[in-house]
Amino acid sequence: MINIKINNLAVQVEPGTTILQAARKLGINIPTLCYFNMESAGCENAPGSCRVCMVELEGRANLLPACVSTVWEGMSIHTNTPRAIKTRRTVVELFLSNHPKDCLVCDRNKNCELQTLAADLGIRESKFDGKMARHEKDTSSLSLMRDPEKCILCRRCETMCNDVQTVGVYSAVHRSLETVVSTAFNEPVADTTCTFCGQCVSVCPTGALIQANNTEDVWAALADPTKTVVVQTAPAIRVALGEEFGMAPGTIVTGKMIAGLRRLGFNHVYDTNFAADLTVMEEAHELLDRINNGGRLPMLTSCCPAWVKFIEHQFPSLLDVPSTCKSPMEMFGSIAKTYLAQKLNVNPKDMVVVSIMPCLAKKYEAARDELGGNTDYVLTTRELAAMFREAGLNFHALPDENFDPLMGESTGAAVIFGTTGGVIEATARTAVYALTGKNPENVEFTQLRGTDNIREATVKAGDAELKIGIANGLGSARKMLEAIRDGKSEYHAIEIMACPGGCVAGGGQPYHGNAQSIIKERAAGLYSSDKNAPKRCAHENAEIKKLYDEFLEKPGSQKAHDLLHTKYVKR
Amino acid sequence: MEKNEKALFAELDSYIDSLPSKQGALISVLHKAQDIFGFIPKEVQAHVADKLDIPASKVYGVLTFYSFFTMTKKGDNRVNVCMGTACFVRGADKILEKFERDLNMKANTTREDGLWSVDGLRCIGACGLAPIITVNGKSYGRLVVDDVPGIIEETLAAKEAK
């Protein structure tokens, strides 16, 4: 162990610890900007380039960057001397010298790390007048927008995209004052292999990478009296939306969310969880069909559109392994514009389906040709919160309301779709039922739960065993896919989610900083919703049974195939 | 990059395949590519990314960082004037201007007839010979402005002799 002092407080740390880590151990806050701990992905962005974390070392003339300087015996560090503070302030003033000053109308207003840093350091004037970098905005994608003029070159997006997700869309290009983080050949991001997972947006400290905004489209639909506007809400929204209104991560706000959506003017408020139960029915049927009839194994889950786009780009020879099931969002859209439209006596052309998703890739998915445009608009959790604020709703005072009937019922199996391992656990519950004729004794397959980016477990179904793999984060997905390609995969089924942690940590969620503490709380919220649900297996959902009885016949029927299944294309 | 394209790619591939390791090889591969093609267009960068198993964005990032590499076709005769600090303080800008005047063209472009390219680039690492230029790979150090006409003549004569 190494003994050091920070601000005259003694602390013992392991060799190799950075000054920043040692300070945090003491509860001392050293401001950072480029440094970013992508905890949920087991990865760190520490280029040591921004120089905001400079600290003074006794007996040394130059200051040290705390995030990349490791400790040595007897060091005495000072983090808050006038010199350290002045240096830090100058560094931030230099950042501001060529940063656009349109904070008032910036997407990240009140939620920007550069803005917060400038405010915390008490910067009240633009001391330096720098030459502004001029770059075109990239609005090519339906999911996200790039504004390189707001980029501070922290390289977090690059680390996330290249090292964690292994997609490699971004790199710093050119040099010196012309340096900008861009795509290969400056191509529009929509023309790259980007999966639109949105994790780059999640980690961006400023407004350089933001989500595409569809709130105006939805306000326009709500204002149109000829339209019946229905909304569905993904499982992960209900445990994160509250954070936008100051609640603790993981607080379950389903009832208030439903009430808020009604107050915005949605005609019917439904649950994506209903469609998640439907997905389980189809996916479990497909899995058993593949196992019993010598079909392609393993079967991969197909709920996550970023992951689907990833395999289409990166592993075009493996397009027969994902389940043909549409995602719950798209199953909802298909059923809404057929079955629901009939039941409500609405012309499908006059029905607008809005989805509230934790995800940016869902915006892109909704526009995929083969899915037929059944989902009209996708809003993220953050956009929904913005609409609640625009409408002046007092979120805390909203009553708890319930989803509308027909497509509002769901089981505990559906709600856990929002966390890594949840989709496959839900599918396993129904697969066990299908194989043995009864529900598993304990529906909680805790062996499938956890936070590791790659996991594996076995689920017993009578005498049979289902071997299951789980990957979250596209870098982990890549490892799973390489094993399948090389014939080394022995799993029956694999669940893949593009975002480290699953949908609770999606690119459209309240900014979570990839902090395990926040992501775990959100997942815990979902698991407790499951625990408290009166029904916990998808096949017990009465509205789903009714849907099959009255409309779809049975899982895997021709009609189910036409409406609920899809295909993948080489990109 | 028209008729012999296939052969040029094959030459690049055989170079890449001869490397003991693909790790950290990007810069030397880009040098080779520029030797072979004369410039490194998008298709060549994408090909290099594929062969080295790295993202195309990374190749493009490295290529744009170093001013020696170019994505556009250069003239038959390529003049590179080092504009590094040492060369600059010893009058590299005057040398560059002289080339612009004598060849009747702008720096950092290729002349319309395709005969000449003149570029100012970052330090080429020969500060002891400042100011230094390279013409078609041959270096000329400790230059004065009056050396320029002779170098132009010599270059044209060398081309004709070939």
Average pLDDT score over residue span A368-379:
97
pLDDT value for A77: 98
Between positions 319 and 358 of A, the ones with CB within 8 A of B are none
Tell me the pLDDT band of B160, cut-offs 50, 70 and 90. confident
Spatial neighbors of A434 by CB under 8 A, at least 6 apart, are A284, A285, A288, A539
Residues in chain B, total: 162
Among residues A477, A366, A503, A315, which one has the least CA distance to residue A423? A503
- The pLDDT, as a whole number, for residue B2 is 55
Asked if A545 reaches chain B (Cβ–Cβ under 8 Å), the answer is no
CB contact under 8 A, A168 and B60: no
Domain for residue A122, yes or no? no
Is there a single domain that holds both residue A203 and residue A233?
A: no
**Which range of residues forms the domain containing residue A196?**
139-212
Domain with residue A39: its CATH number is: 3.10.20.740
Q: Is residue A360 part of a domain?
A: yes
CA distance B23 to chain A (A): 16
Q: Which of A56, A330, A365, A425 is catalytic?
A: A365
Catalytic annotation on A197? no
Q: Which of A42, A65, A97 is the endpoint of a domain?
A: A97
Query: Residue A129: its pLDDT value, please?
Result: 87
Query: Do residues A200 and A242 share a domain?
Result: no
Does A105 map to a domain?
Answer: no
In terms of domains, do A203 and A245 share one? no
CATH of the domain at A289: 3.40.50.1780
Torsion of CA A242, A248, A250, A255, to 10 degrees: -40
Q: Round the CA-based radius of gyration of chain A to a whole number and report it.
A: 25
- Are A416 and A539 in a shared domain? yes
Could you report the per-residue pLDDT of B1-51, keeping only the tens digit for each?
A: 455 889 999 999 999 999 999 999 999 999 999 999 989 999 999 999 999
Chain segment A483-535, per-residue pLDDT in tens: 999 999 999 999 999 999 999 999 999 999 999 999 999 999 999 999 999 99
Last-in-domain residue among A70, A97, A124? A97
The radius of gyration of chain B from alpha carbons, rounded to an integer in Å, stands at: 17
The structure tokens 């010599």 sit at B154
Per-residue pLDDT, B162: 72
DSSP A493-554: EEEEESSTT-GGG-TTSSP-TT-HHHHHHHHHHHHHHHHT-S--SGGG-HHHHHHIIIII-S
Whether B54 sits inside 8 A of A168 (CB atoms) is: yes
The answer on A333 and A287 residing in a single domain is yes
Is A506 part of a structural domain of the chain? yes
Cβ distance of B61 and A162 shorter than 8 Å: no
Q: Based on the domain organization, do A165 and A228 belong to the same domain?
A: no
Judge if A179 and A260 occupy the same domain. no
Residue A127: inside a domain: no
Annotation marks residue A503 as catalytic: yes
Same domain, A27 and A148: no
pLDDT in tens, B46-82: 999 999 999 999 999 999 999 889 999 899 999 999 9
Q: How far apart are CA A330 and CA A438, in angstroms?
A: 29
Q: ipTM value of the model?
A: 0.88
* DSSP string computed for A400-412: P--PPSSS----H
Which member of B45, B57, B65 has the closest CB to residue A168?
B57
Angstrom distance (rounded) from CA B16 to CA A314: 22
For A253-277, write each residue's pLDDT tens digit: 999 999 999 999 999 999 999 999 9
Clarify whether residues A293 and A206 are in a common domain. no
Above 70 in pLDDT, residue A367?
Answer: yes
pLDDT of residue A2: 96
At residue A570, the 3 state secondary structure works out as coil
Percent of chain A with pLDDT over 70: 100
* Count of structural domains within chain A: 3
If you average pLDDT over residues A76-82, what whole number do you get?
A: 97
Q: Is residue A117 part of a domain?
A: no
Instruction: Verify that A248 and A334 share a domain, yes or no.
Output: yes
Same domain, A420 and A383: yes
Same domain, A52 and A160: no
- Identify whether A133 is part of a domain: no
CB pairs under 8 A between A and B: 43
Residue A110 lies in a domain: no
Angle at A291 between CA A285 and CA A292, to 5 degrees: 85
Question: Residue A295, CB half-sphere, CA atoms under 13 Å: how many?
Answer: 19
Q: How does residue A47 score in pLDDT terms, banded at 50, 70 and 90?
A: very high
Boundary residue ending a domain (A97, A128, A150): A97
What pLDDT digit, counting tens, does each position of A228-251 carry?
Answer: 999 999 999 999 999 999 999 999
Residue A330 has pLDDT above 80, yes or no: yes
| Chain B residue with the nearest C-alpha to that of A182 | B57
Say if residues A263 and A299 touch (Cβ distance below 8 Å).
no
Q: Where residue A178 sits, what CATH number does that domain have?
A: 3.30.70.20
**What is the value of pTM for the model shown?**
0.93
pLDDT category of residue A102 using cuts at 50, 70 and 90: very high
Active site residue A303: yes
